[in-house]
């Protein structure tokens, strides 16, 4: 069993989006703080209601978030 939930975070058309890469979790927020609060709630609800063995996950998995950064300025 795996111990990791992978999350991809990127900027959508209007909002920041967090999407589970190996679990069915999607949420959004106007700011990173709002997105993180929404993501924490979404993951908590997922872990509470799902049979984790369906996703080959152990209880209390680690969460890894990948951020897609656009329009970076280089010094």
Summarised one tens digit per residue, pLDDT across range 14-59 is 999 999 999 999 999 999 999 999 999 999 999 998 888 888 888 8
Output the pLDDT for position 9.
96
Let me know if residue 24 belongs to a domain. yes
The CA-based angle 40-45-46, given to 5 degrees, is: 100
pTM over 0.85: no
Let me know if residue 61 belongs to a domain. yes
What is the domain range of residue 44? Answer: 2-67
CATH number of the domain that residue 17 is part of = 3.30.160.250
Q: Look at residue 71 and tell me whether its pLDDT is greater than 90.
A: no
Let me know if residue 63 belongs to a domain. yes
Nearest residue to 61 (alpha-carbon basis) of 17, 22, 28, 10: 22
Domain count, the chain: 1
Output the pLDDT for position 65.
92
């Amino acid at each position: 069993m795996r111990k990791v939930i992978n999350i991809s975070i990127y900027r959508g058309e209007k909002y920041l989006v967090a999407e589970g890469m190996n679990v069915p979790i999607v949420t959004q927020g106007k700011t990173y703080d709002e997105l993180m609060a929404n993501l924490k709630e979404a993951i908590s609800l997922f872990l509470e209601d799902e049979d984790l063995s369906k996703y080959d996950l152990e209880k209390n998995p680690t969460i890894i978030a990948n951020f897609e950064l656009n329009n970076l300025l280089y010094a």
